Amino acid sequence: MPLEAPLSPVAARVADLNARYANHSATSVLEHALTDPQVGQVALVSSFGAESVALLHMTAVIDRSVPVLFLDTEMLFPETLDYQRAVADRLGLTDVRIVTPDRTLTFLADPAADLHRRDPDACCALRKVEPLRAAIAPFDGWITGRKRFQGGQRAALQFFEAEDDRRIKVNPLAHWTKDDVQDYMINNRLPRHPLVSKGYPSIGCAPCTSPVTPGEDERAGRWRGQAKDECGIHFVDGRAVRGQAPRMPL
C-alpha cells in the first residue's frame, strides 16, 4: 500500500518518532523509517565509504528497491568508484542513483579543479551540498550512517532529526559503537573498502583525504591541517552547516 501523506510540522513528527522508537534496535528503526507514514518517502544517502556497507546491507535485507543516492563529486578515489559498483551489485540494490555536480557550475566556479585548495568550504558546497540538496528535494526524509561515537556535532545524535520544517533525517546507527559496526560487517561477511587496509578509516574526496597514523582520530585525515571537519551536507534552517555556495562569475 502507498504511504500516507506525512503530517506537519516536521518537529512534531520527529519528537513522536523518537519517543516511540527510543528503545528499538537499529534494524527496527530502519524498518520503521521505511514504512512509517510519519516519515514518508525516504532515500538512503551513502558515500560507499569505510563503514557504509553495514547500513547498505541492512537496507538491502529489508528492501532492495529503496532509492540509494551516491554522491560522486568527480574527485573521489578510483577505489571508491569501483567499490560502489561492486557493493551495489553484491547486495542487489536496484535503485542506486549517481548524483554529480552541475557541469556548468563546476566549469564556472572551478575550471582548474583546484577550488579545494583555495576554499574547501566552497568546494564542498559546489560538489556536495548543492547536488545533494537537489537530489533529496523530492523526498520527505533521508537515511544517514552517522553515529554518536564519531564525536563533534554527532555526540548527541538521535534516531530521528528535523531538518528545518522540510524533511526528516534518520540515523538508524546513531547508538552503534565502532565495535558494533565491525562485528556486523564480520558476521555478514561484507566486503571492506580497499583503502581501509591502507590507513584510511574515513574516506572522502581524494585531494582532501590522507592516511591516518596509529593513535590518531579516525577523521584526522579529512581536511588535515584545516579548521574543518564536516563537508556541510547537513542542513540547519535550510542552509548547510558548514560552507557557503561559491559565487559564480557574472
How many angstroms separate the CA atoms of 113 and 127, rounded?
Answer: 11
Do residues 136 and 123 make contact, with C-beta atoms less than 8 angstroms apart? no
Which positions are catalytic?
A: 231
3-state secondary structure of 159: coil
How many angstroms separate the CA atoms of 10 and 120, rounded?
Answer: 31
How many angstroms separate the CA atoms of 142 and 100, rounded?
Answer: 18
**Distance from chain centroid for Cα 137:** 15
How many angstroms separate the CA atoms of 100 and 110, rounded?
Answer: 14
How many angstroms separate the CA atoms of 58 and 196, rounded?
Answer: 21
All cell numbers assigned to 52: 557504509
